[in-house]
A and B are shown apart, each in its own frame.
Chain A
Amino acid sequence: MKIRVEKRLEIPKYAGILVPVISVFAALLIMGVILLIFFIGRHGTLAAAFGKTVEAYQEMLSWPFTNRYGLASTFMRMVPLAFVALGLSFAYKMKIWNIGGEGQLYMGAMASTWGAIFLFKDITSPFLMILLLSICGAIAGALWALIPALMKAYAKTDEIVVTLMLNYVAIFWVDYLVYGPWKDPRGYGFPGTAPFPEQAKLPTFFDGEFHLGIFTAITLALILFYVYKKTSWGFNSRIVGDNASAARYSGISVRNYTIIALVVSGAIAGLGGATQMMGVQHRLQHGFSPGYGYTAIIVAWLGKLNPLAIVLVSFLFGGLLVGNDQLQMFYKLPMALISVFQGLVLFCLLGGEALFKYRLRIDREELLDNE
């Protein structure tokens, strides 16, 4: 008998769901081991560390999903994640690696703040105000993504590092504004702008535990689902991503597709920034995002770029961010824990997909042939 590893001719359908689910559990397990080692360093004995790890996991996984307040925070954190991840999926469909979601989110937030406290401050209709601020956010995100888009389309500049560098620039730009010209004169020196007027705040539901943003995110996901599955854009963008020269031969302008993919991607992230301002923050502040733009990369991947799955995964990751906050408060664990988890999930996901390309095959005749 001989066991051979061979390439599968086709990857079974169930792998698409099985691998992400197993990846999340595997990543939780490995992170548990890392936490255990960390707690051994802090508490000395294995038994004490094990107890702490179990306790921390219970806190992290139960509070965000079962407790009423925890659940409200989970929904609140889910919204920006969903927006940015949906935006990223639009570019990733074409294998354009936009990792500038964070910067596009910041620019969207910045532009909606500009609208709310300066440009449209005399508009009293909440409907008109919210519409205008959303448009401001989307345009700012789109323009921020236009920079790498034009560079990629016209000079083939690699978008990965450019989009990432623009995150830093956007964050420093917002810092400049909130520490400088936009600082609230009545803010006691606190780095933030004046609060949004009432008509620029999103309507809330259930005692203010949800804001309208969650519904716009779900609507957006449905629209994108339709676009990806049923329109020629969805079909063509996949061709461009898989084989640019094939796309060119069939008359698709790769250049235009590249620009549109990045710009729409940025617009959605920017809309997310505006939504976050209008729904939760109600003022622009230094460091208002705990890295939503980076977590969204994992959300998009884990959701396999399917918009509906992305909404579900952003709920899960919203919860993990909330759980991480709890750990930070009660166990003095850093926010970085979420990065550990993200890295592990990504590896498990990719490793799982790679392994699924192969299968074990057991040959029984081999022995006879050899004799």
Chain B
Amino acid sequence: MNDLPSFIISTLQATVRAGTPLLFAVLGTILTERSGVMNLGLEGIMLIGAIGGFVASYNTSSLLAAVLVAMLGGAILGLVHAFFTVTLKINQIVSGLAITMLGAGISGLWGRDYIGVIAKRFTPVRLPFLSELPYAGQIFFSHDFLVYVSYLVVPAMWFVIYKTKFGMTLRAVGESPDAADARGINVFAIRYVYTVIGASVTAIGGAYLSLAYNSMWIENMTAGRGWIAIALVLFATWDPLKALLGAYLFGGITALGLRLQAIGTHISPDFLKMLPYLLTIVVLFFTSTDNLKRKVGAPASLGTPYSREDRT
């Protein structure tokens, strides 16, 4: 380690890169869970996003098409989840597990003939003026297009959730579906819409992996990021601004592990690879119900299907 400042800056830059797939997954899931639907299928949705985006990019060489196909793939899985949990009212946990398996399986099948091929990928675009800033320029403004999109989505989502009528409706459905229904809000429709939108945003996180982070398709390339994102939703207390913090925290630990491997330390790479998973467990422990006394910000109806017949 001959040059500490440049090591820190390049690690922080890698932090943003590693945090971005998580950020999209967390943001999408915040939307879904705000409506009261728990979705544990992130891993599968991200994998579908990764392969969908990659295949589209390979065949059309259009990155816009790639992102749209990824979102469509995520939306379809979201629709399946919504059908089973909102309409059929089955256990949301088990439906999420099934989505994970289906997503992992279909992406593996679909990607079978795309292993080792190269597709058009997102390349870094240095933003004029901003990238000239000392330190921050390199850390935040020398990335690819999707990273900049994520910078915009965070405040936009915060604004929509807390400051608009759409957001109020969304929160009402998640907090008190009975009351929302009585006010004439179609609880079922809202839950469908946000489960589908949430899944398609989550899928962008997967596409980021195959189109920018790794720039290729690898079977099961999400490597548990979907589950880490689930923990991050709790960490963020369903707030998009805190999601940014959480995603970069995990991006940071991943980036640090990789950087330490690259410069060669005595620590085994297997231990460095464990870090994000161990950190997830620690985060879950400190955000668990008894430690916070109550789940701050958790939508009250999260995980409970809404049924008009069972209204009290």
Chain A residues with CB under 8 Å of chain B are 7, 34-35, 38, 41-42, 97, 99, 147, 151, 154-158, 160-162, 164-166, 168-169, 172-173, 175-176, 179-180, 294, 297-298, 301, 332-344, 346-347, 350-351, 353-355
Contact = CB atoms under 8 A, between A and B. Distances in A.
B288 A343 contact: no
Interface in B177-208: none
A274 to B, nearest CB: 22
Contacts of B40: 160
17 contacts: A34-B109, A35-B109, A155-B290, A158-B234, A162-B281, A165-B227, A166-B277, A169-B277, A172-B270, A179-B270, A180-B268, A334-B108, A334-B112, A337-B105, A339-B101, A339-B104, A346-B94
Given A165-B277, A346-B98, 6 more contacts: A160-B93, A169-B277, A176-B268, A340-B108, A343-B98, A347-B102
B108 A173 contact: no
Contact of B285 (A157, A342, A355): A157
Interface in B81-97: 84, 88-91, 93-95, 97
Contacts of A147: 281
A336 B90 contact: no
Interface in B130-166: none
B50 interface: no
A346 B80 CA distance: 13
B191 to A, nearest CB: 16
Contacts of B99: 343
Contacts of A35: 109
Given A166-B281, A168-B224, A336 B290 contact: no
B90 A297 contact: no
B110 A156 contact: no
B106 interface: yes
B109 A154 contact: no
Contact of A334 (B44, B109, B224, B289): B109
Contact of A161 (B111, B231, B290): B231
Contacts of B268: 176, 180
Contact of A350 (B84, B104, B107, B223): B84
A336 B104 contact: yes
Nearest to A297: B97
B219 interface: yes
Given A38-B109, A164-B224, A340-B106, A346 B277 contact: no
Interface string B265-307: 0001011011001101100110011110000000000000000
Interface residues of B, number: 52
Nearest to B230: A161
Contact of B102 (A42, A157, A169, A344): A344
B309 interface: yes
A155 B80 contact: no
Contacts of B113: 41-42
Given A339-B108, A344-B102, A351-B90, A175 B270 contact: yes
A287 B277 CA distance: 18
A342 B227 contact: no
A156 to B, nearest CB: 4
A110 to B, nearest CB: 13
A172 B271 contact: yes
B101 A346 contact: yes
Contacts of A343: 44, 98-105
Interface string B230-243: 11001000000000
B288 A173 contact: no
Nearest to A338: B105
Contacts of A298: 101
Given A156-B289, A172-B271, A353-B90, A161 B280 contact: yes
B109 A337 contact: yes
A220 B312 CA distance: 45
A298 B108 CA distance: 19
Contacts of A155: 285, 288-291
Nearest to A341: B105
Contacts of A160: 40, 93
A162 B289 contact: no
A355 B83 CA distance: 13
A126 B175 CA distance: 61
A341 B109 CA distance: 11
Contacts of B277: 165-166, 168-169, 172
Contacts of B285: 151, 155, 157
Given A158-B284, A354-B90, A176 B270 contact: yes
A38 B97 CA distance: 23
A161 B227 contact: yes
Nearest to A165: B277
B228 to A, nearest CB: 8
Which 10 residue pairs across A and B have the least CB separation, nearest first?
Answer: A336-B108, A343-B102, A339-B105, A340-B105, A343-B101, A176-B270, A346-B98, A157-B288, A354-B88, A156-B289
A9 to B, nearest CB: 13
A336 B224 contact: no
A172 B102 contact: no
A156 B290 contact: yes
A340 B109 contact: yes
A319 B228 CA distance: 33
Q: Which one of B90, B107, B109 has the greatest number of beta carbons of chain A within 10 Å?
A: B109
Q: Which one of B104, B228, B270, B285 has the greatest number of beta carbons of chain A within 10 Å?
A: B270
Nearest to A175: B270
Nearest to B287: A157
B89 A354 contact: yes
B194 to A, nearest CB: 21
B121 to A, nearest CB: 23
B224 to A, nearest CB: 5
Contact of A165 (B270, B273, B280, B289): B280
Nearest to A6: B309
Given A169-B277, A353-B90, A294 B101 contact: yes
Q: Which one of A147, A154, A351 has the greatest number of beta carbons of chain B within 10 Å?
A: A351
Q: Which one of B44, B223, B277 has the greatest number of beta carbons of chain A within 10 Å?
A: B277
A38 B114 CA distance: 13
